[in-house]
Amino acid sequence: MNLIGQPVDRIDGLLKVTGEARYAAEFPEARLAHAVLVTSTIARGTIASIDASSAQAVPGVLLVMTYQNAPRLPNGGRPTLAPPAGRRLSLLQDNEVHYSNEPVAVVVADTLEHATDAARQLRVVYQSSAASVDFAQAKPNAHAPDRPQGRQTDTQRGSFEDGMQSGTVHVNATYTTPIEHHNPMEPHATMARWDGPHLTLYDSTQGVSSAAQAVAKVFGIPPGDVRVISPFIGGGFGCKGSSWSHVSLCAMAAKQTGRPVRLVLERPQMFGPVGARPRTEQHFTIAARQDGTLTAMRHDSFSNTSTIEDWTETCCMVTRMLYTVPNQVTTHRIVPLNLGTPTFMRAPGETTGSFALESAMDELAAALKMDPLALRLKNYAEADPQENKPWSGKSLRECYQIGAQKFGWSRRTAAPRSMRDGRTLIGMGMATATYPANRSEASAIARILPDGTAMVASGTQDIGTGTYTVMTQVAADALGFTPEKIHFALGDSTLPRAPVSGGSQSAASVSPAVREAASQARSQLIALALADPASPVHGIARDDITVDNGWVVSRTQPARRDPAAAIIARSGGRPIEATSTVKPGDEKQKYSFHSFGAVFVEVHVDAELGTIRVPRVVAVYDVGRVLNQKTARSQLMGGIVWGVGAALQEESSLDTRYGRFTNANLAEYHVPVNADIGSLDITFIDRPDPYINSLGVRGIGEIGITGVPAAIANAVYHATGVRVRDLPVTLDKVMGGTMV
Ligand code: MOS
């Protein structure tokens, strides 16, 4: 494998920086009409009346679609599919309001300006009823979810009570994390066009196939009648893993108006109807012996859901697998609120769960007067302690060692507030990163064309991660072609099916399918050449043949070679084609698949102002084989940057009087800018996972954010002596906190 791992530049980079890359809202369409979504201003109740007269009077208005005139959908617009494809949508089938910012109308006009004007003039009168939006107040109503995302709701191993008694040092703490909203630069956007019974959607989605399936279910039409096209996506992060209400609403509007319709969510509409990371409250009880050996651990996680879906932030997943604690209880409970349903948001459960777990481990280390890294090594899990299975591969010890060495962890003095430079308090913190290595069935096609180039395709997505680039590398490598001769296509539900780009599974699922299809096409090309008496390689033993730079060539007599175009031309000029579907076998029964990492962080805290800076992060990851050093590093950088934001800035601020978010815009929803980010030193162990797939590749989209918030909170504790257990760690919490 020559090309695998190479830091190949993004093949779509030039298209993106020159504006040539076409996003969902940018496809030109004759007779295009523009839709604007109108959302509720109350958190719970019913629509009492609607006055659309002023809206209808705006020039160019084509449709004001409300529950009064929207087309009736099969099953009341509530198709039964499991998330991510199936969500409980708001499709104007009744007058109920379940949360603020819920879709209540769609206004369509000839221009975006007319539609926007008309949407503002629509008068909706509500009958409000008491809404439940306060997490603390509603917490007594918490209930157990039913196998959240297919995982066990609660777990128990050993005897927690016995473990508590064998431990001499205890930690008992509660950690909280706020509601956060995905805000990719490109908001959700859809363009819908009906051609008779056939619906085409240009949609910004993480899953073209699952989106097609979801919309087909909504309309009760065959999945083959819906085509979803999504060649470029301006970020997804989980919110675009589900097909939310606006997608089907756009298709409904297109049907009603008889015109293609475009619908782009306004930035404030990103805060409600398209998912969020829920609020979490996590209770930890830990017991350990004086030497650091964990004897008992209990993790009770509460998170909010909506009143219309049970969604669970699976915070305990990390706790179950990361350390060899013999006696453990974990529980998940959910608190229904009148808010939009939460959803997958980059490392859902692992981001929030690792903040609590890795903060608690730091608190335990402090209580034991033990080095935080030594405490992790003391309880290093040589096998998955919950599943009782060996790891498919785990090089976490190396991650710790290399990270500590590169960071200079040995320079850290143990006591909090012991490192200082003038009025700058210096803190060093660390945490473990982990994320499961997921994989699903995927298909691909490889076609060697008469001109000697190849078309390789899979119905996967590039959500900004580099799928185009790494799949081109995999295809080129397997074919024996140069990357320039490969055209890789994705983002179309008519292509061979691939899973949703979520759960960090695309690279691990799609690359083996691409590799297999390309290898088969390569074999066919070789067979064709060897069988052809006119070929310069005719008669050469198969073992002596390879494909290099698009030529079928003898390894031992390189002068005997035959280019793909000539081989195809002599055989009748038809393309060579191979398709492949690959799926996981029984390896998940035998092994536990996870990626791991170690994150080391330095923070500078102004002793008088409490301001926190993160001058450097050193992180080392075991993510299996790295397909492209450059795009992989970019993924991990993005994850770490988000981790810095989650640690220090990010929070959707809820006005509990109205159930509305007060910072529903990019000015007040704080995320890091370049000036907030210091040096990011990222290292890969780059060791193929022997069991996950033919390439040894695990996904890398999500692990980067995990561990970072805890490492920063731990570093802030080390700098200041103040333990902040509530994200984000802001200066008021540092200055107002007590030293522990
Ligand atoms: Mo990821 S949160 O599964 O898109």
Write the pLDDT tens digit of every residue in 497-518: 999 999 999 999 999 999 999 9
- Residue 502 shares a structural domain with residue 434: no
Cα–Cα distances in Å, from 382 out to 116, 179, 322, 396?
59, 35, 10, 10
Q: How far is the CA of 268 from the centre of ligand 1 (A)?
A: 21
Cα(105)–Cα(128) distance, rounded to whole angstroms? 18
Please report the atom of ligand 1 found closest to the CA of residue 702. Answer: 1
- Tens digits of per-residue pLDDT, 284-340? 999 999 999 999 999 999 999 999 999 999 999 999 999 999 999 999 999 999 999
Instruction: Give how far Cα 474 sits from Cα of 464, 465, 515, 626, Å.
Output: 18, 15, 6, 12
Q: How many CB atoms lie within 10 A of CB 362?
A: 25
Measured from the Cα of 344, ligand 1's closest atom is 2
- Within this chain, do residues 253 and 345 fall inside the same structural domain, yes or no? no
Ligand 1 centroid to Cα of residue 236, in Å, is 8
3-state secondary structure of 711: helix
Q: Quick one: 593 and 576 in the same domain?
A: no
Residue 524 within a domain: yes
Distance CA 441, CA 627 (A): 19
> For a pocket test of ligand 1, which of 435, 642, 702, 705 has the largest count of ligand atoms closer than 8 A to its C-beta?
702
Q: Is 363 left (phi over 0), alpha (psi -120 to 50) or beta?
A: alpha
Check whether residue 254 and residue 320 sit in a common domain.
no
Closest CA to 226 of 84, 241, 207, 509: 207
For the CA of 348, the nearest atom of ligand 1: 2
Cα 341 to its chain centre, rounded Å, is 17
Structure tokens at 731: 């200066």
Measured from the Cα of 463, ligand 1's closest atom is 4
The binding-site residues of ligand 1, defined as CB within 6 angstroms of any ligand atom, are: 206, 236-238, 241, 344-346, 348, 502-503, 702
- Written as one letter, the residue type at 209 is S
Whether 83 is covered by a domain: the verdict is yes
Q: Are residues 415 and 491 in the same domain?
A: no
Give 1's pLDDT tier (boundaries 50, 70, 90): low
pLDDT tens figures, 175-212: 999 999 999 999 999 999 999 999 999 999 999 999 99
Q: Measured between alpha carbons, how far is 340 from 98 in angstroms, rounded to an integer?
A: 8
Question: Which helix (DSSP H) or strand (DSSP E) does residue 581 occupy?
Answer: strand 576-582
**Single-letter amino acid, residue 705:** I
**What confidence score (pLDDT) does residue 85 get?**
78
| CB-CB neighbours of 129 under 10 Å | 12
User: Which DSSP string do the residues of 316-331 spell out, in sequence order?
Assistant: HHHHHHHB--SSEEEE
Residue 239 clears pLDDT 90, i.e. is over it: yes
Measured from the CA of 501, which atom of ligand 1 is nearest?
4
Ligand 1 centroid–CA 112 distance in Å is 31
Show Cβ contacts of residue 407 under 8 Å, excluding neighbours closer than 6 positions: 428, 430, 600, 602, 616, 618, 681
Which residues make Cβ contacts (< 8 Å) with residue 53, sequence separation at least 6? Answer: none
In this predicted structure, the answer to whether residue 606 has a pLDDT above a threshold of 70 is yes
Residue 590 to residue 391: CA distance in whole angstroms:
9
Burial (0-12, 13-18, 19+ Cβ within 10 Å), 616: middle
Q: 468 and 339 in one domain?
A: no
- Report CA(180)–ligand 1 centroid distance (Å): 14
107 CA → ligand 1 middle, Å: 31
Q: Which amino acid is at 380?
A: Y
Give domain status of residue 165, yes or no. Answer: no
Amino acid at 36: V
pLDDT interval class at 79 (50, 70, 90): confident
Name the domain boundary from 583, 599, 634.
Answer: 583
Domain extent, residue 105, equals 31-130+185-235+240-270
Q: Is the entire prediction scored with pTM above 0.85?
A: yes
pLDDT digits (tens, 9 = 90+) for 541-600: 999 999 999 999 999 999 999 999 999 999 999 999 999 999 999 999 999 999 999 999
Domain-embedded: residue 654: yes
DSSP code string of 536-580: TTTT--GGGEEEETTEEEESS-TT-EEEHHHHHHHTTSPPEEEEE
One-letter amino acid for residue 88 of the chain: R
Query: Whole-angstrom Cα distance, residue 601 to residue 718?
Result: 11
DSSP label of 704? G
Instruction: Identify the pLDDT of residue 80.
Output: 75
Query: Burial, 332: exposed, middle or buried (Cβ in 10 Å; 0-12, 13-18, 19+)?
Result: buried
With a CB cutoff of 8 Å and minimum separation 6, the contacts of 674 are none
Q: Is residue 159 part of a domain?
A: no
**Which residues carry out catalysis?**
702
pLDDT band for position 673 (50/70/90)? Answer: very high
Residues with Cβ < 8 Å from 196, sequence gap 6 or more?
A: none
20 C-alpha to ligand 1 centroid (Å): 27
Residues 574 and 540 in one domain: yes
Shortest CA distance to 308 belongs to which of 96, 549, 147, 111?
Answer: 96
Question: CB-based contacts of 682: which residues, under 8 Å, 6+ apart?
Answer: 619, 620, 621, 633, 636, 637, 640
Q: Which residues of 12-30 are buried (b: 16+ CB within 10 A; e: fewer)?
A: beeeeeeeebebbbebeee
335 within a domain of the structure (yes/no):
yes
The residue whose two tokens read 């084989």 is: 625
Q: How far is CA 201 from CA 23, 81, 259, 599, in A?
A: 12, 20, 13, 41
Pair 475, 373 in one domain: no
Q: Distance between CA 88 and CA 111 in Å, rounded?
A: 30
Domain boundary among 562, 583, 604: 583
Mutate to test the pocket of ligand 1, among 312, 344, 509 (most ligand atoms within 8 A of CB): 344
Q: How many domains does the chain divide into?
A: 3
Output the CA–CA distances (angstroms, integers) from residue 233 to 185, 236, 637, in the order listed. 9, 7, 19
Place of tokens 């940018």: 26
> Does residue 180 belong to any structural domain of this protein?
no
What CATH number corresponds to the domain at position 496?
A: 3.30.365.10
Tell me how far CA of residue 522 lies from CA of 449, 504, 526, 552, 566, in angstroms.
12, 29, 6, 9, 15
Q: What's the 701 CA to ligand 1 centre distance in angstroms?
A: 8
Confidence of residue 227 (pLDDT cuts 50, 70, 90): very high
How confident is the model over 62-84, as a mean pLDDT?
Answer: 91
Confidence band of 737 (pLDDT split at 50, 70, 90)? confident
pLDDT, averaged across the chain: 97
Q: Is 514 helix (H, G, I), strand (E, B) or coil?
A: helix
pLDDT on residue 151: 94
CB atoms within 10 A of CB 184: 18
Q: Which secondary-structure segment (H or E) carries 238?
A: none
Q: Indicate if 568 and 471 belong to the same structural domain.
A: yes
Spatial CA neighbour of 510 closest among 498, 520, 496, 521: 498
Does residue 640 lie within any of the structural domains?
Answer: yes
Phi, psi torsion values for 330, nearest 5 degrees: -135, 140
302 and 420 together in one domain? yes
3-state secondary structure of 603: strand
Examine the pLDDT at 84 and tell me if it is beyond 90: no
What pLDDT does residue 708 have? 98
Q: Is 93 found in the same domain as 79? A: yes
Ligand 1, atom 4: nearest CA belongs to which residue?
238
Q: For 223, phi and psi rounded to 5 degrees?
A: -55, -30
Question: How does DSSP classify residue 196?
Answer: T
State whether 299 and 430 are in the same domain: yes
Alpha helices in 302-427 (DSSP H): 316-322, 350-368, 372-378, 396-407
Residue 727's closest CA among 713, 707, 738?
713
CB 233 within 8 A of CB 23: yes
**Whether residue 584 has a cis bond before it, omega within 30° of 0:** no
Q: Centre a 10 Å sphere on the Cβ of residue 350 and count the other Cβ atoms it contains.
A: 24
pLDDT given at position 521: 98
Most informative mutation of 244, 314, 346, 467 for ligand 1 (most atoms within 8 A of CB): 346
The 10s digit of each residue's pLDDT in 399-454 is 999 999 999 999 999 999 999 999 999 999 999 999 999 999 999 999 999 999 99
CB atoms within 10 A of CB 34: 24
85: CA distance to ligand 1 center in Å? Answer: 13
Gap between the Cα atoms of 195 and 709, Å rounded: 49
| Domain end position, chosen among 563, 583, 603 | 583
**The pLDDT of residue 685 is above 80:** yes
**Residue 614, number of CB atoms within 10 A of its CB:** 27
| Closest atom of ligand 1 to CA, residue 238 | 4
Contact call for residues 716 and 603 (beta carbons, < 8 A) = yes
By three-state DSSP, how is residue 659 classified? coil
Q: Phi/psi at 543 (nearest 5 deg)?
A: -60, -25
Does residue 425 contact residue 419 with C-beta atoms inside 8 Å?
yes
Evaluate if residue 114 carries a pLDDT over 80.
Answer: yes
Report in angstroms the alpha-carbon separations of 399 from 25, 331, 498, 608: 42, 30, 32, 35
SS (H, E, C) 131-189: CCCCHHHHHHHCECCCCHHHCCCCEEECCHHHHHHHCCEEEEEEEEECCECCCCCCCCE
Phi then psi for residue 153, to 5 deg, are -70, -50
